[in-house]
Each structure stands twice: as C-alpha cells, then as structure tokens.
Amino acid sequence: MVFDKDKCCGCSACFSVCPVQAIKWTKNKEGFSEPEIIEDKCIDCGLCRKVCPYEEDHVGKDADPEVYAAVHKDKKVLLKSSSGGAFTALSDAVLRQGGVVYGVEFDREYGLVYGRASDKKRRSRFRGSKYVQCDPGIVYRQVEKDLKDGKAVMFTGTPCYVSGLKKFLSVRKADTEKLFLCDNICHGAASPMVWKEYLRYIRSNVLKGKTVKMLSMRSKKTKWQKQYMDCITEYGDESHLLNKKASWNKLYLTTYATRKSCFSCPFTGYERVGDITVADYWNIENAKLYIDYKSGVSLLLINTAKGKEWFAQCEKDLIYEKSDKKSCWQIHLERQQPISSKRSVFWEDFRKDSQKAIARYSKGSLFNVISRGITPILRKLGLYTFAVNLFGRVKGSGK
Ligand SMILES: Cc1cc2nc3c(=O)[nH]c(=O)nc-3n(C[C@H](O)[C@H](O)[C@H](O)COP(=O)(O)OP(=O)(O)OC[C@H]3O[C@@H](n4cnc5c(N)ncnc54)[C@H](O)[C@@H]3O)c2cc1C
C-alpha cells in the first residue's frame, strides 16, 4: 500500500493480503476506491507495502516482446470487440482448457463489475473497453481460490491491477503455473462517480427517460479509430444523438476525470506485467502490413514464454501478421500521461453542479477537438510519433 494517496491505483492488493483485516476499503472524494488503515488493528507486518504495484517502475523501460497485428476471423466477434477481438481468441483458449476468465462487465444499471466466466456467453459480456475504473473488490481472492482448485485462470485488466494480482499471489505463495495474465496498454481509468453522473445526465437530458438496451464505448458503425459510442434504446438506435450531445469518450479523453495515480503510472514501458498485452493498433496505417484493419485491429505484445504458448493456441482464430516495436509505438508505451492544469477546474465545476459539468465537458475540450482533427494528418505524413513526443516533452511526463 502506498501512503501517498495520490499514487494509489485502487487495485485492492493491500486490502486482499492484510492478515488481520486492518484495511478498510473506502471511496475518496473523486469516487475512486482506496484503502484506509485501521490503526488499532494494524500489526505493522508490511505486507500491504510489499504487494503495492506502485513500488514498481517500468517507465520507459525497454524490452523485446514479439509484436503482432491481429484480427479475429469471425466477423461477428470482430464487430463486437473494441479493436481486433484478440481478447476473445485468448479467452477461448483458456475456456477450452476448462478454465475461467476474469474481466470487466456492465451490470444492469451500466455500473462496472469484475466478472468471472466459465463459459463463452458470460465471457462475451467482458467484450468492449469500458473507460471507467472498475472496483476489483474481492476478485484477487477468487483468483487464488480458482488456482488452488487447479483451474486455468485468465485475468484481464489494466497493468496496475495485473501487477497487484501478481504480487498478491506471490506473497500468498500461490501456484501460478495455470495463470494467464493479459494487461492492456492504458490511457488511464476514469472516475466511476463521474460515470454515474454521466449516465444520469444522458438518461434525463439526451434520451429523455428512454431505457438503455445497449451501450458501448467503441462503436464499429463508423471508422473504428473514431471512438464513437453506440447506444440503443427501446425506440431504436440513438447513437448519433448521444455522440452529438454528450459523449463519454470526449470527457474521458480530456483526462480530467482520470484517477490521479494514472499520471504517475509506473507501467508505461515496453517492459510489461502481463504474459500478453492487448491494445489498439493505432498506428496501423503506417505499419506497412497487409492485414485488413478496416473493422478494427488488435496490437499484441507477447511478453513471456507462457505468452508464446498461449498465443500459439489462438492462432487458428486469428488472422495475424508480425510487426515491430517502432511501428506500433504509442505514447503509453514510453511515458506517462501529463496531468492537465484544467483537471482541478473540472473537479471544482463537478462539485458545484455535477450535471452542468457533465453537459459542458462531455462535448470535449478544444485541445481534443484540434488534436483529433490533426492526428490522422500527422499519421499520414509519418509525423505522429515525433509530434506526440515533442508535446510530451513540452508538457512534462507527470512523474
Ligand atoms: C481503461 C482502459 C484504457 C485503455 N487505454 C488504451 C490505450 O491507451 N491504448 C491502447 O492501445 N489500448 C488501450 N486500451 C485497450 C483497448 O481499448 C482494448 O481493450 C484492447 O485493444 C482489447 O481489444 P479487443 O478487441 O481484443 O478486446 P475486447 O473484446 O473489446 O475486450 C475488452 C477487454 O478489456 C477489458 N476491460 C474492459 N473494460 C475494462 C476496464 N474498465 N478495466 C479493465 N479492463 C477492462 C475486458 O475485461 C476485456 O478483457 C484501454 C482499455 C481500457 C479498459
């Protein structure tokens, strides 16, 4: 457990490992889960520090993963996935062994929960990136139990959660031979409290009381890189209205609602914590590959020997092509997201009147509008990496 709360990622490893339940799991002012020590119960054993992911440092660290661009062969799967559907192929390989898969799903009210799936139907609920932080609750202990029962387990999550789980299991001396870890390249996790207010806002102001039947943050109806949302109500497709009037993705990309610890994320390097890292292959246009990426393409970094074997079991479900580190580069493989000076203004506005703040910030920031407009041009000109690096240097790394 880190004692600087601004560096706590909320993974729950400390809470899960404490042998005397001296850690309370609470919510901070921005709606993120975090630990609180109950002083008179604490025996000062130090385990909470030992399992903390923020004791790690992978920032800018180089490594030599095998790099692939991959697309699921089943078009239906591809259209329901955020990028190329690599997650489905990887999880199918674990389910085929009689294993279980952990991932993030929406509940009935579109809140986020960590789910456990032992069949394809439940697993499919994890498809689609949800750009909100999900409280892991007691999931690490469930994973430990599944491993103890001899099951193969796939755990998917942000790198901080994957690292927290690894450290927790190592302290508990769990047998991890059948554990398959899949992290993602991460842009940061947004506040569940802001997400809840966003849902309240769109229900009354955009959808005017209609019931949401399906919500997705990664539509495939338009160009997949555009990060449109899909929204279906009982009256039909309301996606256009939602994207025009109030887009979660626009708010998310401002990074104002992102957890503070994400700006000092220790996992922004090619040195990864998962056996396999999945991500969007953003820079595919310039990668000089033959793969058809029109409906989305995943980037896969195969980081370990176990990852190689695992990937080999998925090959029959994927169309894939070998790539390289230079072509797939994106900022979160090198450095932390700089913290915006406007973040505190957002939170002041949100505290004053949350619904008004949602209305304002779900239209995005001027910076985002400009950067989204010029990004495709920079990519075409082959200047994207240079421009992002330059901007990152000017703004500082946030660490
Ligand atoms: C918060 C967040 C930030 C991301 N940032 C980047 C980025 O900067 N660059 C990049 O290239 N890719 C990023 N990704 C990854 C990307 O959006 C896709 O998840 C990835 O390409 C997998 O796509 P797919 O088609 O294989 O998976 P899909 O079938 O769409 O599966 C989605 C996977 O994401 C997991 N997931 C969904 N929501 C969450 C959540 N809230 N927390 C943890 N895990 C979740 C599911 O459990 C599942 O494993 C991010 C994902 C998340 C969740």
Taking CA atoms only, the protein residue closest to ligand 1 atom 21 is 279
Ligand 1 atom nearest residue 85's Cα: 25
**166 contacts 192 by C-beta, under 8 angstroms:** no
pLDDT at 160: 98
pLDDT at 11: 97
CATH of 5-55 given 3.30.420.40, 3.30.70.20, 1.10.260.40, 3.40.50.1110: 3.30.70.20
Question: Taking the chain, what is the end-to-end CA distance rounded to the nearest angstrom?
Answer: 19
pLDDT at 397: 42
Give Cβ neighbours of residue 171 (< 8 Å, ≥ 6 apart): 17, 47, 50, 51
- Coil, helix or strand for 114? strand
Sign for the pseudo-dihedral over CA of 156, 158, 160, 161: negative
Q: How far apart are CA 326 and CA 64, in angstroms?
A: 11
pLDDT at 395: 60
User: Which segments of the chain have a pLDDT < 70?
Assistant: 1-2, 392-399
Q: Which residues line ligand 1 (CB under 6 A)?
A: 81-88, 103-104, 112, 126-132, 134, 156-158, 184-187, 189, 278-280, 282, 298, 330, 332
Taking the centre of ligand 1 as the mean of its atom positions, its distance from the CA of residue 352, in whole angstroms, is 32
- Coil, helix or strand for 288? coil
Domain boundaries, the chain: 5-55, 57-399
pLDDT at 399: 32
Q: What order do you get walking across the sheet with 66-72 strand by strand?
A: 112-117, 100-106, 153-157, 179-184, 276-280, 298-302, 66-72, 318-323
pLDDT at 374: 81
Taking the centre of ligand 1 as the mean of its atom positions, its distance from the CA of residue 362, in whole angstroms, is 21
